[in-house]
Amino acid sequence: MQSFITGRLGYMVQSLEDTQLISGSGSSQIKGVLNWSGIQTVSGAIGTIDALCRAIEYVRGANGVGFATATALIMHPKDWLNVRLSKDANGQYLLGGPTFGAYGVGGYSNVAMAWGVPVVTTTSITQGNALTGDFRMGAQIFRRKGLTLATTNSDNDDFQKNLITIRAEQRMTLAVYQPNRFCSITGIPA
């Protein structure tokens, strides 16, 4: 039972942490990167692959701010799937097929990359949106304490009903030092 609780609750707390670090409101939650004022934005309406490149270059300073190196690109798995399955007019995969690199050149790689930036897929970001930035220098996570689990049977009427209450929590916050080192991509077509 202990390993079940530790594994399940730990995973659920981590999943909630990921969501809040990306898009938390800051009200009874961590304020996520997407909710800091000053982050740059690119519309996905120009085409997903073009928007990803533009966002990465905005982080690098192409529009006069940022001047950083994008260290990751965060996308919803379905959006990344659509990028991976993008084909040209001849039916060739733009990012390389299932066994070879783009247009049959080079070997296949299962390391997800877009414009030289590692892609992290997660359902913690809303489908149709993506985020790139300098996650090493633009922001920092401060952990007051790691994951803690507590149990009790004395909460309200738990003892009378033969129940046990289990709590999993961790204390942390996110500081975004330079919001212009991040760029969100919105409106990625389905």
3-state secondary structure 41-88: EEEHHHCHHHHHHHHHHHHHCCCCCCCCCCCEEEECHHHHHHHHCCEC
Length, in residues, of the chain: 190
- Name the least confident of 35-39, 74-78, 145-149: 145-149
- Determine the pLDDT at residue 54: 98
pTM summary value: 0.88
Classify burial at 121, counting beta carbons within 10 Å of its beta carbon; exposed 0-12, middle 13-18, buried 19 or more. middle
Tell me which residue of 38, 89, 42 sits closest to 65, measured CA to CA: 38
Mean pLDDT to the nearest integer, 138-150: 92
pLDDT value for 106: 74
Proportion of the chain above pLDDT 70, given as a percent: 99
What is the model's pLDDT at position 96? 79
CB 189 within 8 A of CB 48: yes
Question: What is the per-residue pLDDT across 53-109, written as a single tens digit (0 to 9) for each?
Answer: 999 999 999 999 999 999 999 999 999 999 999 999 988 888 877 777 767 777 777
Residues 6+ apart with CB under 8 A from 58: 40, 42, 65, 66, 183
CATH of domain 2-186: 3.30.2320.10
- Residue 56 in tokens: 């990465």
